[in-house]
Chains A and B, each alone.
Chain A
């Protein structure tokens, strides 16, 4: 399981060079615009824009497809179930279940929007170092405590993942095979308990080390943000696109998802 979302941050591209403060703020608005869409043509334009953004960041295909596979597992059942559970008139029946086009339309819309938002998220966080993105969040008035905890958590995730793998290897080498029974669950319970204790004791040591290096509840960074005219240019272009998406959606040119859902 690859957890380092920022492993391709060093690639040189238009998006990677964008000042992270602008990138996060503007892309946040862009995501909001996508989330508000309720017509399929506009959602298709959104997904094309999101794919173009991924192309601009030069993230490798396997990186994006691996990330998408998680969300597809969640979304494909929607495509399969919603046409048959949609209330109201059904166009025809399959094995006794009524198939409603409106349900399929809604599920398609959900699908396209969710994938576009995930693509934009990957483009944003895949194109800057994680700590830089977090500092940018802090500049955007996200509470300091939350940013600090996110940084710590992200950092320790890698350490404890290794720890968990080691423990798992030693468990298997002692002949552990998971089954669906109470004994397996008890072992998993103890496994998690052990992991907790080890990490907890590590925190205490780390905290003392941090205090001795002068930690007073604040993290200092060497990163300095600098914005130039191209940062503004990219931001204005993105905001324009977001506005066009929402405007196209409200123009009434296309079939909108049913009221009440909104």
Chain B
């Protein structure tokens, strides 16, 4: 889900740029040189994974996967998503130049929230834990982005209220699909290569 150029009022997209600059600066603190290629590579994987079409009844949707970015990159997810948004605007004209800020806040904010949800898994211990928290992260990441998008539309003007409502409704099926995919991905990664996931604790895999 993206907002296009020309829709939002100037104060909204300027605020979007300001918020993105602040969040990017905060989440990029103490960036290690080693992380630069890693973040880039993960970004490009998500960039192309968002080209995958998933069938939903007769139609098909593209994956958003911002929840999974949060699960893999932790707080660095914000920058990864911002880079993805910039490239989409440049290469496809998806979204647009003026709305890079708003779109980054929307998708990257969702990713950060998803990471927060994902971290809660340490409080619990049961067999399908990674699947359940991955799915929650995927669902909450998607719906947070949908909510931020709806808010951006509503603050632009009341004539967008109906569209904002429609946007939120459209996010419900996407949320379910994202939950299933991010959940199974998180479970898979936890089995095959657990150190790729964000916020892992050593005790869990100490015997390996």
Give the distance in Å from the alpha carbon of A5 to the alpha carbon of B65 in the complex.
Answer: 24
Interface size of B in residues (CB-CB distance below 8 Å) = 70
**Chain B positions within 8 Å of A152 at CB level:** 36-37, 40-41, 44
Minimal Cβ-Cβ distance residue in A for B183: A189
**Chain A positions within 8 Å of B38 at CB level:** 200, 203, 207
Check: A221 CB closer than 8 A to any chain B CB.
Answer: no
**Chain A positions within 8 Å of B51 at CB level:** 1, 161, 164
Check: B206 CB closer than 8 A to any chain A CB.
Answer: no
Partner of B65, one of A85, A192, A200: A192
**Chain A positions within 8 Å of B9 at CB level:** 261-262
Partner of A197, one of B5, B57, B93, B196: B196
What range describes how many residues of A lie at the interface? 35 or more
Name which of B44, B49, B187 has the most chain A CB atoms within 10 A of its CB: B44
Partner of B44, one of A74, A160, A180: A160
Check: A18 CB closer than 8 A to any chain B CB.
Answer: no
- Distance (Å) between the CB of A177 and the closest chain B CB? 9
Give the distance in Å from the alpha carbon of A185 to the alpha carbon of B13 in the complex.
Answer: 35
**Chain B positions within 8 Å of A185 at CB level:** 54, 177, 180-181, 184
Give the distance in Å from the alpha carbon of A3 to the alpha carbon of B47 in the complex.
Answer: 11
Minimal Cβ-Cβ distance residue in B for A148: B36
State whether A153 touches B192 (Cβ < 8 A): no
The segment from A8-16, A52-60, A103-111, A230-238 found at the interface with B is: A103-111
State whether B159 touches A87 (Cβ < 8 A): yes
Instruction: Answer whether A85 and B162 are a contact pair too, CB < 8 Å, given A121-B93, A180-B56, A261-B157.
Output: yes
The interface of chain A, by Cβ under 8 A from chain B, is 1, 3, 5, 28, 31-32, 34-36, 67-68, 70-71, 74-75, 78, 81-82, 85-87, 103, 106, 109-114, 117-118, 121-122, 125, 145-146, 148-157, 159-161, 164, 178-180, 182, 184-186, 188-197, 199-200, 202-203, 206-207, 210, 216-217, 258, 260-262
The interface of chain B, by Cβ under 8 A from chain A, is 2, 4-7, 9-10, 13, 28, 31, 33-34, 36-45, 47-49, 51-52, 54-57, 63, 65, 68, 72, 79, 83-84, 86-87, 89-94, 96-98, 156-159, 161-163, 166, 177, 180-185, 187-189, 192-193, 196
The 6 closest A-B pairs by CB, nearest first: A189-B184, A152-B40, A113-B6, A185-B180, A85-B162, A118-B93
What would 29 A/B residue contacts be, using CB atoms closer than 8 Å?
A34-B6, A36-B10, A85-B159, A86-B159, A87-B159, A87-B161, A110-B4, A114-B96, A118-B5, A118-B93, A121-B97, A150-B87, A152-B36, A157-B47, A164-B48, A178-B55, A184-B54, A186-B180, A188-B54, A190-B188, A192-B68, A193-B185, A197-B192, A199-B41, A200-B41, A206-B37, A261-B9, A261-B157, A261-B159
